[in-house]
Structure 1
């Protein structure tokens, strides 16, 4: 704590200042001065670090689940990851997203009220382009959605909402249900502007193009179950039964992890000049014999030899030889 001046010392200091013997800049600052941190009472922080961490864990699980669903829809490898979990006001969230966009309003009993899922227009148009026969690499240009596009994306978002049940099942048995979709976020009045919300931002990568999905979770929706959004709630137990339950949760999560499987048709090398001269209809000779089995990789490692073919009008492969099988070996 700084030294307290006597009244005579204060008088001498004031006299020296008025006479010009010393300047205000020469008066020593109190180095022990208490640091003051600003606090906005209009947007108090309702979510603790534990709450944010738990929401991140829940939605990492959700990201894996919907990656599998989206991959099946577009028949391409889709990578979904949690990019950010943050808390803001509802007004700040609405101002941060595009317009038009696809804003899905849903409920998730026993949580209170409504929640929001925003699929960015870049994501929506890429998925629609692929589903309608395109490559998904068309440059996005802002425009309104057609009625057909809104109908198709509604069915996709309905499944995205339904998959929240699987993501939350380790914490709570929820019953998600889509209520409505809107394209103008400013018209959505389901929450007060200053209502605290947690925003979970997911990145979605298809064909090396990255887009976004946002989930908006109002504090009022989870206030009654907020105590369950603590990691210790999951992993602390007073008996062996609790420990067994935790083990089952961990085992289930491991089993639900999705793996990328790739069957490689073949490889080759060509000079840059030949690459630059490639035209539509040119034939590229690969290093793979017509009758030779293909290599199938899991997580970038060779695991199987497979034979290509078709199954129920879809391309398929049949395993002809197992190269690697042990889980321990796979993790090396």
Structure 2
């Protein structure tokens, strides 16, 4: 088979593979990506929460602990739940005036290791991956209560809704914290307690944070763009100069200039000077003084009223 024949044979296969790709409908009314400025604000808040959470764990389990923030994204709850292992600890947290719940997720075996440290263990034995007993659940809830305090402190004005621990679930597919299409702000962490390292996630309904993010980074509307531009232009500094009427000369005269040469300026003695900005004449002004410095007195304005106006603009030419 020649190269040309092979190309002809493989081309339909490639086209069929491309046409078989699934097309996902994008809803522009509910974007699933965070704006850059919003993402940065959330990342800073989540990094603060990670540091606070690590300090809190160290104090509670009496073992040096570190929590590192890895990523902050926005996902639908269905996408978030699908990314979790089937069996895991999911602490559902109730948000006042919100149907959807926040979620703090981590491995049950790691949580049992934390409980073992709290009860005097040394973490030498690997913890099983099972549900919590009543005592273990009470201790884990206490750890989560403290974590939520750190979360409220770290998010500050971004989280205006009271949040509290509701229930603990162990199956990511059955724990319905929100509707499948609800948007969630999802943060992922790495938690290291002693020699034990595990991954954890925090999911907060986007509706609980996005309104405050808009206030944190206000976006100006373009409806009054003309007024905004005018307000900005009036505060921009510009160079103002007093100018004589220009004289037209030939290049040969310019090239032959020397000290002592006299160039006649066609500007009458009785005519005021031109008050100009960037070479554009805006008004007429007479030379004056302001203390020890030269100044000008505007004698005619663009409106043509001719009313003299005092000005302390220094003469530049």
Q: Using structure 2 for the length normalisation, give the TM-score.
A: 0.55
Give the aligned partner of residue 77 of structure 1.
64
Distance 2:7 2:110 in 1: 58
Give the secondary-structure state (helix, strand or coil) at the position aligned to 1:183: strand
SS of residue matched to 2:209: helix
Write the deviation string for residues 183-239 of structure 1: whole angstroms up to 9, x where unpaired: 233222231123232210111112232112210122233343341464999xxxxxx
| 1:117-141 deviation line (CA, Å, top 9, x unaligned) | 1132233022012112222243243
Q: How does 1:153-168 map to 2 (within 5 A)?
A: 153-168=140-155
1:131 aligns with 2:118: yes
- Please tell me whether the aligned partners of residues 112 and 221 of structure 1 are also in contact (alpha carbons under 8 angstroms): no
SS of 2:125's equivalent in the other structure is coil
Q: 2:42, 2:72 within 8 Å by CA — same for their partners in 1? A: yes
Residue 200 (str. 1) matches residue 187 (str. 2): yes
Give ranges in structure 1 of 5+ residues lacking alignment: 1-21, 27-36, 234-332
Q: Which of these two proteins has the greater Rg computed from alpha carbons?
A: 2
Structure 1 CA distance for aligned equivalents of residues 124 and 25 of structure 2? 45
Please give the secondary structure, in 2, of the residue aligned with 1:187: coil
Q: Is the 8 A contact 1:137 1:207 kept in 2?
A: no
- Are the counterparts in 1 of residues 159 and 209 from structure 2 also a CA contact under 8 Å? no
Q: What secondary structure is seen at the aligned counterpart in 2 of 1:163?
A: helix
Residue 179 of structure 2 aligns to a residue in which SS? coil
Is this contact kept in 2: 1:80–1:203, CA < 8 A? yes
Q: Which residue of 2 aligns with 1:101?
A: 88
CA distance change for structure 1 residues 223 and 56 in 2, over 3 Å: closer, same or farther? Answer: closer
Q: Secondary structure at the match of 2:152?
A: helix
Show the counterpart of 1:52: 39
How big is the shift at 1:107? 3.2
Distance 2:59 2:173 in 1: 33
Preserved CA contact (<8 Å) 1:111 1:222: no
> 1:91 deviation in Å?
1.8
Measured in 2, the distance between the counterparts of 1:160 and 1:78 equals 14
Deviates more, 1:111-120 or 1:83-92: 111-120
Tell me the secondary structure at the aligned position of residue 137 of structure 2. helix
Measured in 2, the distance between the counterparts of 1:232 and 1:57 equals: 20
Distance in 2, Cα, partners of 1:162 & 1:104: 15
Q: Is the 8 A contact 1:45 1:196 kept in 2?
A: no
Listed as ranges, the gaps of 5+ residues in structure 2 are 9-20, 221-317
The one-character-per-residue Cα deviations of 1:150-196 (angstroms, maximum 9, x if unpaired) are 12111111211122111011545453222222223322223112323
Taking a change above 3 Å as real, the CA distance of residues 141 and 179 of structure 1, as seen in their structure-2 partners, is closer
Deviation of 1:77 (Å): 1.3
Secondary structure in 2 aligned to 1:61? helix
Tell me the TM-score normalized by structure 1: 0.53
Aligned partner of 1:40 in structure 2 is: 24
- The whole-number CA distance in structure 2 between the counterparts of 1:134 and 1:185 is 29
Alignment of 1:246-265 (within 5 A): none
